[in-house]
Amino acid sequence: MKTRILVVDDTAIFRRIISDALAALPGVEVAGTASNGKLALERLASLQPDLLTLDIEMPEMNGIEVLQAMASAGSKAGVIMLSSNTVRGGRITIRALELGAFDFITKPEGGSAEEHLALLRTQLLPVIRAFERRREIRSILDNNPPDTNPLKDKPLIPAAPAGRSVRRSGPPILLIGVSTGGPSALAEVLPALPRKLGAPLFIVQHMPPLFTQALAERLQSRCAIRVKEAEDGEIAVPDCAYLAPGGRQMRLAPGQTGEITVELTDDPPENNCRPSVDYLFRSAALHFPSRSIAAILTGMGNDGTQGLRLLKRSGCSTIAQDEASCVVFGMPREAILAGVIDTVVPLNRIADMLVRCLAEGRA
């Protein structure tokens, strides 16, 4: 059965380009188009598509208002936001993801219509396939509740019991790698962390430039700990979360007196990602062995697995988000299958597990 998609955009040329890009993808059918949010809701009710591509800036009703109306109506259709690569576009996109949008892509800028078409095909295909996979998993879990899942909230490799000393070569470091579904996941995990966390937290969220700035600002407004976009050369301090800037790689390096220095580079993408989870995790394993507690959360692909393997070799603790609570069970799944995860827990237990691991290291 084909995935039926409603294309919503106020610009006729983009509706045509997006429709053509979708029509060229296997297993995809363009169910219809709409030029504004009000028409989108009407056609959503009549056409019953599986998925929408939704522009942010539109007359009548904008993309945020459409998402809010869909939530009020209990719509189960997925949404891929089409965002402008601007600070304002980033802020609105973060809000859209919080409201339940599955993912986003940025609108092409410059170039010919043919170039736009090729880029949109490349961007849309993996997102649609991930949505289809999530829908399949949700269907399975509806028939087999997650409480029956043997991996739920159980260690794969016995974690150190509370009260037992964990050998750590220095002050602890927290690491998080996340991709699709990340803004919502981080919005649940980070506000649950105590203000006196006692360790710095470094986060790689797969996002383009400007969007990570908006995400950091949004998280800062909701968290007890400080949250900021990382800066090149800054010295990391406890009780602060550092978010890798979109479009740059972030690594950790030792300072002259042993402090953690944040370095941002323009090194090539890894796993087609910049920032890359592997890039960050590898630097922590190399320069600060046995000090990290690392969590891999929802996301497509396998970024983070190799870095987790290096962290495990140095005696670090590793955590993965479980399948039932993931938007996309890709990155956690690959790490679990590679045997580099200590404990698998649902999203609402990630913060507790990070704090527990910190406490065990101090015992």
Comparing 362 with 350, the larger pLDDT belongs to 350
3-class DSSP assignment, residue 269: coil
Region of poorest pLDDT, from 172-176, 256-260, 348-352 = 256-260
Name the catalytic one among 103, 278, 303, 342.
303
The single residue listed with the structure tokens 């849309």 is 124
DSSP assignment of 6-46: EEE-S-HHHHHHHHHHHHTSTTEEEEEEESSHHHHHHHHHH
Q: How confident is the model at residue 145 (pLDDT cuts 50, 70, 90)?
A: low
Residue 13's contacts (CB-CB under 8 Å, 6 or more residues apart) are 113
Structural domains in the chain, CATH included, are 3-143 (3.40.50.2300), 153-362 (3.40.50.180)
pLDDT score, position 262: 98
Residues 295 and 344: their CA atoms lie apart, in Å, by: 10
Name the catalytic one among 50, 75, 206, 317.
206
Residue 165 has pLDDT above 90, yes or no: no
Residues 344 and 326: their CA atoms lie apart, in Å, by: 12
Residue 274 has pLDDT above 50, yes or no: yes
Furthest-apart CA atoms within the chain: distance in Å: 65
Residues 36 and 11: their CA atoms lie apart, in Å, by: 9
pLDDT score, position 89: 84
Name the catalytic one among 75, 83, 179, 283.
179
- Told to judge if 206 belongs to the known catalytic residues of this protein, a careful annotator would answer yes
* pTM attached to this predicted model: 0.89
Distances (CA, A) of 55 to 8, 9, 80, 307, 340: 6, 5, 9, 36, 40
DSSP assignment of 106-145: EPP-SS-HHHHHHHHHHHHHHHHHHHHHHHHHHHHHHHS-
- Told to judge if 303 belongs to the known catalytic residues of this protein, a careful annotator would answer yes
Question: If residue 207 lies in a helix (H) or strand (E), which one and from where to where?
Answer: none
3-class DSSP assignment, residue 105: strand
**Phi and psi of 155, rounded to 5°?**
-70, 140
- Average pLDDT across the chain, whole number: 90
Residue 8 has pLDDT above 90, yes or no: yes
Distances (CA, A) of 177 to 24, 42, 243, 303: 33, 39, 10, 8
